[in-house]
Copies of this chain bind each other. A is one copy, B any other.
Amino acid sequence: MRLPSVSVALGGERFSVAYSLTAQNQAEARQRAAEIAFEQTVEFPADLTPAGDILDQIVGQVEEIQALSPTSWKVVISYAIEAAGDETTQFMNLIFGNTSIQRGVRVESFDLTPAMASKQGPRFGRSGLRELLNAPSRPLLCTALKPMGYGAGELARLAGDFARGGIDLVKDDHGLANQSFSTFKERVKACAAAVNEANAVTGYASIYMPNVSAPADQILERALLAKELGAGGLLVCPGLVGWDAMRILADDNRLALPIMSHPALIGSFTAAPDGGISHYALYGLMPRLFGADASIFPSWGGRFSFSKEECAAIVAGTEAALGGFKSIFPTPGGGMTMERIPEMQAVYGRDVIFLMGGGLHRRSPDIAANSAYFRDLVETIK
């Protein structure tokens, strides 16, 4: 027997999520779509769900079912914005909370309604970061401070060399946290100083971006300390700290620093070809939703296995319409070399941050010269 009906005050505004799912025929696809619509909202048997507003509007509505192949279907489900309660955490829960546990269903994309798009999103975006770095049109350059085990002195020496060579964004490796051999404070103080001193000599506007991925009660504290010590941006691993912890940093006016999102621990979301979250949404839309200005991912042809098409989909996600949110920089890395720059630039174009780690050390022992070579390579390609 159905639970008693109630009247729910709803404005009628709905956002949509596109899923791909496996099904042997249209009837099964329709059935699976309906199950998702219930699972993601009332999580209640259809025949017991209160009739009226809850059944008609709170339960997700299947808006579209379309065959992609004989066994693969695109379904679009809309949800009342009130179900998300103006919270990004609950928004993600509505999109994929329990359904993440189902097999054969993947989040392909989602949209935001005008009311939802009033959030800030990326503070800088592509245009803001270009302005900050005084680089109106060329690809931007990024590298990582490593290896783990180096102390603040060694890392700062590297940071200075990178900046003198013209690397725009000198970030911590995501494995640098607050370790005895390189405490957060010592490292940030030394590296920020090294980059800022290099800028004073070169006239460049390079910034140092320390990794503030930390225990939940220390993230904001470290970010504020980083700003105080002269850091020009922040590196955040949403898979380690939670996506919304990144948004908090993006929204904080005391910080007002560009943010780079790192994929540590979120790789599993694309591990099953017919499950998880698409490259487009995971590395393109979600970092924007949670305030990042650049999204790191492993490019095709490096140590990881993303295809060229998956990388192109990520680029599309960084610039697709998403409420009024700014476009952000795709930041391919994961095994780049100098030799691959022309090939990569042909695909990524100019609105890209090239992230080169180990590859920047290979050309010669002179790190500043290697960095200058990297910059020259990128600047001279048409």
Contacts and interface: CB of A to CB of B under 8 A. Distances in A.
Interface of A: 1, 3-4, 6, 8-9, 35, 39-45, 48-50, 53-54, 58, 82-90, 92-94, 96-103, 144, 146-151, 154, 173-175, 177-181, 213-217, 237, 239-245, 247-248, 263-272, 275-277, 298, 303-305, 334, 357-358, 361-362, 365
22 contacts: A35-B303, A43-B175, A43-B357, A44-B357, A48-B361, A48-B362, A82-B179, A85-B180, A89-B177, A89-B213, A90-B240, A93-B264, A98-B264, A100-B265, A101-B267, A102-B267, A103-B271, A215-B247, A216-B248, A268-B272, A268-B276, A271-B271
A103 B146 contact: no
B180 A268 contact: no
A146 B242 contact: no
Nearest to A82: B180
Given A1-B365, A151-B6, A241-B244, A90 B177 contact: yes
Contacts of A97: 174-175, 237, 239-240, 264-265
A154 to B, nearest CB: 6
B87 A177 contact: yes
Number of copies: 2
Given A240-B92, A265-B100, A85 B146 contact: no
B271 A146 contact: no
A259 to B, nearest CB: 14
A255 to B, nearest CB: 13
State the main secondary structure of chain A at its contact with B: loop
A8 B149 contact: yes
Contacts of A41: 147-148, 175
The 10 lowest CB-CB distance pairs between A and B, nearest first, are A242-B242, A101-B267, A100-B267, A42-B147, A271-B275, A97-B264, A271-B272, A54-B149, A85-B179, A58-B149
A215 B303 contact: no
A173 B154 CA distance: 51
A4 to B, nearest CB: 7
Nearest to A53: B149
Nearest to A297: B101
A35 to B, nearest CB: 8
A154 B103 contact: no
